[in-house]
Structure 1
Amino acid sequence: MKRISDKRISDSGQSYWRETASLPSFPSLTEAAGADAVVIGAGIAGLATAWELTRAGLDVVVLEAGRLAGGVTGHTTGKLTALHTSVYHTLRTEHGDDAARQYASSQSTALRRVIEVADELGISCDLERRPALTYSRRAEDIAALRAEAEAARAAGLAASFVTETGLPFPVAGAVRVEDQAQFHPLAYLSGLVDAIVARGGRIHEGTRVVDLDRGDPCRLTTDTGAVVSARHVVVATHHPVFDHALLATRLTQHRDLVIAGPVPAPQDPEGMYITEEEGKRSVRTAPLPDGRRLLIVTGEAFRPGTGEDTEAGYARLREWTERYFPDVTITHRWAAQDNSATDTLPFIGRMPTAGENVYVATGFAGWGMTGGVMAASVIATLVRGEREPWTDLYAPSRLGSALRSAPTLLKDQWETGKHFVKDRLETFGDGTGGPVRDLRPGEGTVVRGKGGPCAVHRDDRGGLHAVSAVCTHLGCLVAFNNAERTWECPCHGSRFGVDGAVLQGPALTPLEPRDAEEW
């Protein structure tokens, strides 16, 4: 039985989940291998899929570029709910009542699946049943909240419109759905990993897949030089690598800041709350070993790579939290990145133009805990030659919803194109002083050098680190995130360390090094 570590909370810069769950380590893949199925990515979507496939008797290999759950899953808020802000009124309006019912049923089934698996495998993961609420403090939003409550109820959820909540401030109204859940996501995945390995599954960390040769079998080439052959390939990398269907053009990126710290148990608002006000605010708690509750507040959503003052965002989030929860002691802060499909629905199933045996799971819009588990079931049934009732709803090849979302798609692509062109026309320093000379420790800037745009960071000791500012995915220029000290691409959300290393795709190769002495 996997249990959560009683490690004392400290301000380590990691998410609380990563600090308090013991995930095993696995070696890189260094020699050729074969399997029935290869899963690329070891977040909740990838590991849940690997579990479903191994449970069905398939020989499975999981390949992870970094560490297990080192991406979005390791930085989530850990909500298991079918109430996704205001999705049901949108689905009902844009896709019809049947689509809304299928969405609610698929997400609720995924929630129950987590509970069933945790019970079956004896995983201790702080699983708690709680209501989920979408709220607003603005009177002008009451009509929209009532419409969402009615749409969610029509879709099959136990939803109602309420005006009273457990929050420490009044609200104009809220949509409340009963009997949802929250958990420790990495404690859950730790138990899932043990079960995958016990059934013969093979997991390799530090192994980035850099090429996919579609066929039967498919051949995957890794950055370690190893080649893997498999009949089935599942791409569960958050933003899809090997995007033959150009799904990236139908995905938008956003990044949320998170702060957390203990509060006395009586201050627990006893629910999972979210609002789009003030750049988003999401609130939940988790149990602590000493009887207190860990308050987790998320918000200040922004598009990566746009040069947002991330430190200022953290300051606003902290001020809001301390205003309404004055007894909180902030101990952690982290950030999470999500992508959303322009037509609201995730992309789950066979990847168009990639053949019958390549599958993708992406576009969870911040709801990847239920979305990832649901994706695992959809893909596993397809691999077995079967179908879920909602397979067509999430199919990446869907056309009707793509046409309906064309205005949103065009707007997003305009933003991407604007960055691509503007970045090349913008005036930079000439590399002889200018902005680089003025950089303070911890800051970064993009300047024009002899070899083209250059991303320069000054570390805490005053040393300069220079890499190409051109994203290795499609060539947009990166911008500096001053809180996380990373370079981020505004076009498709790739993230790099100050040394150029890939932290988050879709980029597969690092930013090229530049001579720091030039500056």
Structure 2
Amino acid sequence: MNAQTGTQGSYWLETAPPGDPAPPPSGDLTVDVAVVGAGIAGLSTAWELVRQGREVAVLEADRIAAGVTGHTTAKLTALHTLVYDHLRRTRGPEGARLYARSQTESIEHASEIVDELGIDCEWEEAAACTYAEDPRRLDELRAEAEAAREAGLPAEFATETELPFAIAGAVRVSGQAQFHPRKYLLALTDDLRRRGGTVYEGTRVVGLTQGEPCVLRTDTGVSVHAGDVVIATHYPVFDRALLFTRLSSRRELVVAATIDEDRAPRDMYITPEQATRSVRSAPYRDGKRLLIVTGEHFTPGTADVEERFARLSAWADDRFAGLTFTYRWATQDNDSTDSVPLVGHLHPGSRHAYVATGFGGWGLSGGVMAGRLLSDLINGRPAAWSGLYDPRRLASVVREGASFLKHQAQVTRHFVGDRLPAVTGPATDGIPPGHGAVVRLGARQYAIHRDEDGTLQAVSARCTHLGCIVSFNHAEQAWECPCHGSRFAPDGRILQGPAVHPLEKRDIPEKRSAI
């Protein structure tokens, strides 16, 4: 079965459309707090602050919860693959306990919000399981179960699950949750507005001046003055602390298929094997559930995505048999070099600028956690785990030196290697319809895409974030930067940051020498 038979797009976006867009601000604004980014971290932060009486404006470059949050697999869990044994070794038992407590309280808080606001978001309690098929990983799983128990989670080691295939072992934590993230966040946004908060869509922030007040500048020239600013854009669009040196972007694919209720797993499963495999199901219709399978993680701009979609759908069909794929999409995550999100003050000198990033694929529980943590910091009452997540931490960077250096080596390879004369690549005339290639024409590198009707369009191949050379993702029709994950449409428009400026349009010279 080929995932190409499914609809290219997120199930969450299709089943919870956003309605008419909120217009950008018509003039300069002054608010208590400006939140940049309307995913779960930004909206959770804004909602917490508005509930506490603050005047808040949310500025979103696209649509509410349409970015990473709208493409998630929608699991709310404190079991994050194999994080607790790692934390016990690198941050100590207390660090692991704080991590477990902060994530668990976030799930409980989200459940309370659902009840308080009466949100119909398909909330289901479920267990979270990290499993392995390879018996050589049993010691690793047992260590994780022990560390998770020590951290305060109801974790147990198991050798059997409801999955229709054999496993070697699993770590199981009960009392977790899964839901429809878009329905949850659209309801949260409605309540935010009822409480006096404002959300602006189609408003890209391109500049930040820190001070008292801070000043944000949008792409239309409007200025937003705010006592405090929160950068919740997934990957920070402003980085005075050089956080990009401590973050690596990875993309993962999702395929979804209808499945009979009696065959659908009710708990949530993930394995680090085979470049990740994550499995859960969601309510669907007509006696069916939607089987959601995620995996095949890779650095943006470095993979044959169609091949990986095929590999993921083949894996799912092999284990669940007879699937008809109805949707496929992709998501993007940022990993910190020490496996702990970066939530707090933007840099050591900042007093009124905050950031939330580096959730490592667990942005839903992390986003709710970030909303509570940041609202507490802004109100002058730091949470017990503020130090654990503080972006200004340096000791953990030293401890995670190997991961830090590996990430920097990968970025340097692209940053330097992309500037060297290339010796292979398709000629411009050889680019088929629907494809793109980077071509050297004279002294410049062009990102050239051929439309389905055969028309060529060219933009600069240099990412506007820090200048790495982009690569074309045919499956998703996007130019992608392998250094920090910025993504652009074929015509250069920004699809995903940290870039805040589009790729420059170029005229194609007559001479077409390929690289």
Q: TM-score scaled to structure 2, two decimals?
A: 0.96
Indicate the larger mover: 211-220 or 322-331: 322-331
> 2:305·2:474 contact (CA, 8 Å) conserved in 1?
yes
- Alignment counterpart, residue 23 of structure 1, candidates 10, 15, 18: 18
- Alignment counterpart, residue 300 of structure 1, candidates 276, 296, 306: 296
CA-to-aligned-CA distance 1:245-285 (integer Å, 9 cap, x gap): 00110001100000102100011122100001111100000
CA distance in 2: counterparts of 1:462 and 1:133, whole angstroms: 48
Q: CA deviation at 1:325?
A: 1.6
Q: CA deviation at 1:149?
A: 0.3
CA distance in 2: counterparts of 1:98 and 1:48, whole angstroms: 26
Q: Which residue of 2 aligns with 1:7?
A: none
Q: CA deviation at 1:437?
A: 1.3
> 2:348·2:392 contact (CA, 8 Å) conserved in 1?
no
- Alignment counterpart, residue 495 of structure 2, candidates 493, 496, 503: 503
> 1:428·1:448 contact (CA, 8 Å) conserved in 2?
no
> 1:22·1:187 contact (CA, 8 Å) conserved in 2?
no
Q: Which residue of 1 aligns with 2:189?
A: 193
> 2:29·2:225 contact (CA, 8 Å) conserved in 1?
yes
Q: 1:354 to 1:502 in 2, by over 3 A?
A: farther
CA distance in 2: counterparts of 1:317 and 1:37, whole angstroms: 42
CA distance in 1: counterparts of 2:478 and 2:298, whole angstroms: 15
CA distance in 2: counterparts of 1:150 and 1:13, whole angstroms: 41
> 1:44·1:373 contact (CA, 8 Å) conserved in 2?
yes
After TM superposition, list the pairs within 5 Å mapping 1:218-233 onto structure 2: 218-233=214-229
- Alignment counterpart, residue 148 of structure 1, candidates 132, 144, 148: 144
CA distance in 2: counterparts of 1:469 and 1:451, whole angstroms: 12
1:273 aligns with 2:269: yes
Q: CA deviation at 1:344?
A: 0.8
Provide structure 1 residue ranges, at least 5 long, that are not aligned to the other structure.
1-9
Q: CA deviation at 1:461?
A: 1.4
CA-to-aligned-CA distance 1:397-434 (integer Å, 9 cap, x gap): 1111111112211111011011111111142579xxx5
CA distance in 2: counterparts of 1:12 and 1:414, whole angstroms: 37
1:455 aligns with 2:447: yes
Q: CA deviation at 1:353?
A: 4.2
CA-to-aligned-CA distance 1:87-142 (integer Å, 9 cap, x gap): 00000011100000000000000001110001101100000000100000001000
Q: CA deviation at 1:328?
A: 2.1
After TM superposition, list the pairs within 5 Å mapping 1:82-161 onto structure 2: 82-161=78-157
SS of equivalent to 1:300: strand
Q: Which residue of 2 aligns with 1:251?
A: 247
CA distance in 2: counterparts of 1:232 and 1:510, whole angstroms: 27
Query: Which one-letter code corresponds to 1:374 in the other structure?
Result: M
Poorly superposed stretches of 4+, deviation over 6 Å: none
1:374 aligns with 2:369: yes
Q: Which residue of 2 aligns with 1:408?
A: 403
1:262 aligns with 2:258: yes
After TM superposition, list the pairs within 5 Å mapping 1:164-243 onto structure 2: 164-243=160-239
Q: CA deviation at 1:354?
A: 5.2
Q: CA deviation at 1:442?
A: 1.5
CA distance in 2: counterparts of 1:439 and 1:144, whole angstroms: 47
1:489 aligns with 2:486: no
1:513 aligns with 2:505: yes
Q: CA deviation at 1:444?
A: 1.1
Q: Which residue of 1 aligns with 2:430?
A: 438
Query: Which one-letter code corresponds to 2:195 in the other structure?
Result: R
Query: Which one-letter code corresponds to 1:336 in the other structure?
Result: T
Q: CA deviation at 1:355?
A: 1.9
Q: CA deviation at 1:378?
A: 0.5
CA-to-aligned-CA distance 1:471-511 (integer Å, 9 cap, x gap): 00111100111110111111111111100011111111000
Q: 1:175 to 1:260 in 2, by over 3 A?
A: same
> 2:254·2:328 contact (CA, 8 Å) conserved in 1?
yes
1:344 aligns with 2:370: no
CA distance in 1: counterparts of 2:349 and 2:252, whole angstroms: 32
> 2:18·2:63 contact (CA, 8 Å) conserved in 1?
no
After TM superposition, list the pairs within 5 Å mapping 1:33-112 onto structure 2: 33-112=29-108
1:385 aligns with 2:377: no
Q: 1:150 to 1:469 in 2, by over 3 A?
A: same
Provide structure 2 residue ranges, at least 5 long, that are not aligned to the other structure.
none
- Alignment counterpart, residue 306 of structure 2, candidates 311, 322, 335: 311
CA distance in 1: counterparts of 2:365 and 2:70, whole angstroms: 15
> 1:428·1:447 contact (CA, 8 Å) conserved in 2?
no
SS of equivalent to 1:18: helix
Q: 1:40 to 1:479 in 2, by over 3 A?
A: same
> 1:29·1:224 contact (CA, 8 Å) conserved in 2?
no
Count of matched residue pairs: 506
CA RMSD in angstroms comes to 1.3
CA-to-aligned-CA distance 1:148-175 (integer Å, 9 cap, x gap): 0000011000100100001110000000
CA distance in 2: counterparts of 1:509 and 1:170, whole angstroms: 49
> 1:38·1:60 contact (CA, 8 Å) conserved in 2?
yes
- Alignment counterpart, residue 427 of structure 1, candidates 413, 418, 422: 422
